[in-house]
Amino acid sequence: MDNKKTINLSIIIPTYNEVDRIGDTLKQIQEYFGDKQDTYEVIVVDADSPDGTAKEAIKSSKHIKHLEVISAGPKPPKRAIKGKQVKLGMLKATGEYIMFMDADLATPLKYLSDVSSLAKADKPVGICVRDLQKSHTGLRKLVSSFANFLVQLLILPGIKDTQCGFKAFRSDVARQVFSRQTIVGWGFDMEVLAIARQLGYQIDTINVPDWKDVQHGESDKTKLSGSKFSALKAAIQTFPDLLKIKWGLISGRYKKPIT
């Protein structure tokens, strides 16, 4: 990767079995930035997808000048490692502002303009938040609402949505926060925000009323969303993480110097 020119924005994209969409996603990113190829970089962090996601991403190098595809190692059976992928990418990035986003573009790329505004204002952390009452329905709406109630009660009061996969950090803040991250599963979003807040960084929010729940093939009987996990299962899996984060805040573990 050529780093002779300053990279204003680094975009981290964690992937697993995204061969059917990663090429188009990268092309849309390139089209968004147009001729500003030297102002941004994209780092795809793949969990050794068996469907060839990494190879497909590499093919897209013709669309993006500063593109790197790295491996986070194999994904353990039935275990999420998105937190590991994001951490690797965030700590490897060279941009003045660093963000991560999902490959399915559930949060439209137009919100990159809000990230740019945060960067120009030198804001330490900016996150997109959904209207969970409108974006989710049925059991998922009930579970996500209750889960967010617990999150606000225990660790992040005032943050109405911790799980939207579109978060940005000033580079120095990213280093401080992600070096202290310990959770590799779905609960990592909660942890990095809790760390940022305990370290004294302000968290600005970007409302995303048009966030879309990306659906996969109709043949999937469980009709999982684009993030590929059920709301109830995710809530159960992340509850221990919530308690771990709470203890980390109480014990002051996150305030300890980076080793």
Q: What confidence score (pLDDT) does residue 226 get?
A: 40
CATH number given to 9-255: 3.90.550.10
Q: What confidence score (pLDDT) does residue 148 get?
A: 85
Q: Is 255 helix (H, G, I), strand (E, B) or coil?
A: helix
CA 206 to chain centre: 14
> Cα–Cα distance between 139 and 117 in angstroms, integer?
36
User: Has residue 222 got a pLDDT over 60?
Assistant: no
pLDDT in tens, 97-134: 999 999 999 999 999 999 999 999 999 999 999 987 67
State the virtual CA torsion across 247, 252, 256, 259 in degrees, nearest 10.
Answer: -10
Q: What confidence score (pLDDT) does residue 203 get?
A: 98
pTM, rounded to two decimals: 0.90
Residue in the block written with tokens 């997808």? 49
> What is the CB-side half-sphere exposure of residue 47 using CA atoms within 13 A?
21
CA 122 to chain centre: 20
Q: Are 178 and 87 in contact (CB under 8 A)?
A: yes
Q: Where are the domains of the chain?
A: 9-255
Confidence at 218, pLDDT banded by 50, 70, 90: very low
User: Has residue 217 got a pLDDT over 50?
Assistant: no
pLDDT in tens, 53-87: 999 999 988 889 999 999 999 998 878 899 999 99
- Lowest-pLDDT choice from 6-15, 28-37, 212-221: 212-221
Confidence at 142, pLDDT banded by 50, 70, 90: low
Q: Are 91 and 177 in contact (CB under 8 A)?
A: no
Confidence at 219, pLDDT banded by 50, 70, 90: very low
Mean local confidence (pLDDT), 17-45: 96
